[in-house]
Amino acid sequence: MDWSKVLLETLSSSYSTILRIVLVIIPLLIAIECLKDIGWLEKIADHSHSFTKFLGLPGESAIGLIIGVFTGIVLGSGVIMQIQEDANMTKTQINVLFLFVGICHGVVEETIVFTAIGANGLVIVGSRIAAALLFTFSYIWITKIVDRHSVKVKPGMH
Amino acid sequence: MITKQTVLRGWNKAVKLVLSLLKYIIPSIFFMKILEHSGWLVRIADFFAPYMAYIGLPGEGALVLLFGQVTVYSGIAAMVILDLTAKQLTIMSTVLCISHVLVLETAIVAKSGANGLLNAGSRVAAAVLAGFILNFVIPGV
């Protein structure tokens, strides 16, 4: 194996990759901090109560969902942990919330970085939202059927 | 309110992120280059090719998904080494976006009170399904 070639190509590939990421990440993170200070996350959360209702979640969970979807799972889960005590969420609701955030999180940073290396950002975001909706609704649907079934079966067993 | 501190905070976060990226991107690219020049990349690719073909990706794509379990950026670094078409790049990115750093993120999710197995399982299933559908939907090769 030609080690000098390996090293040289590593350096040139690393340089171009990092440069491409740096050029989008610095303005992006500054823009996100600006938007945070305007309070955009809270504003979006205020307008997404109908969406959380659509997922069968309490209105208080909107801010956790929005922070998770826009920034990432680490920050999102911290907020959700605080909310679930106040909002008295059921196990199913917590699973629904994390299913959505798990499939679809950190969308701003990830989408822009992947777009910078040549992928179609619109397809990425669209697919993630569609997949998140599909899996949360499948889960809600299955839990409902299991619940109904267990209620029906219990009296008949005696 | 946007002040000088806001911009400075963003700048500091960006510099910190870039510095941490160096730690992941350079070793990932180095490792991929070793695999490439030692001939192992072709062997690994040949092994995974039949499975990855279902989601429209070359066999090397399996390595990207593996590297993506360290950080998303390690996966990106592995991805730029490969010669992917525009279609493959979008599919690969979507799959990686949905299913990355599963061990760590599932641990966080489980600690927050959700079912970790359900969460991780759904993410893997969602990633495969998204790749499978996108392979049909996106025109081109």
DSSP string, A102-139: HHS-SHHHHHHHHHHTT--HHHHHHHHHHHHHHHHHHH
Alpha-helix residue ranges (DSSP H) falling in chain A = 3-38, 40-46, 49-54, 62-70, 73-86, 91-103, 107-116, 121-157
- Split into its structural domains, chain A has a count of 1
Determine, for residues B93 and A26 on separate chains, whether the beta-carbon distance falls below 8 Å: no
Query: Residue A155: pLDDT band by 50, 70, 90 thresholds?
Result: low
pLDDT tens per residue, range A101-113: 999 999 999 999 9
A100 to chain B, any CB pair closer than 8 A? The answer is no
Domain that holds residue A152: 3-157
Shortest CA gap A158–chain B (Å): 32
ipTM more than 0.85?
A: yes
Nearest to B1 among A37, A73, A119 (CB): A37
Alpha-helix residue ranges (DSSP H) falling in B39-115 = 40-52, 61-67, 72-81, 86-98, 102-111
pLDDT tens per residue, range B42-89: 999 999 999 999 999 999 999 999 999 999 999 999 999 999 999 999
Contacts of B79 (CB under 8 A, 6+ apart): A117, B64, B89, B92, B93, B96
Q: Report the SS3 class of residue B138.
A: coil
- Taking 3-state DSSP, the helix, strand and coil percentages for chain B, each rounded to the nearest 5, stand at 80, 0, 20
Rounded to two decimals, the pTM is: 0.91
DSSP conformational letter for B42: H
Structure tokens at A79: 């907020």
Nearest CA in chain A to B124: A103
Determine, for residues A77 and B130 on separate chains, whether the beta-carbon distance falls below 8 Å: no
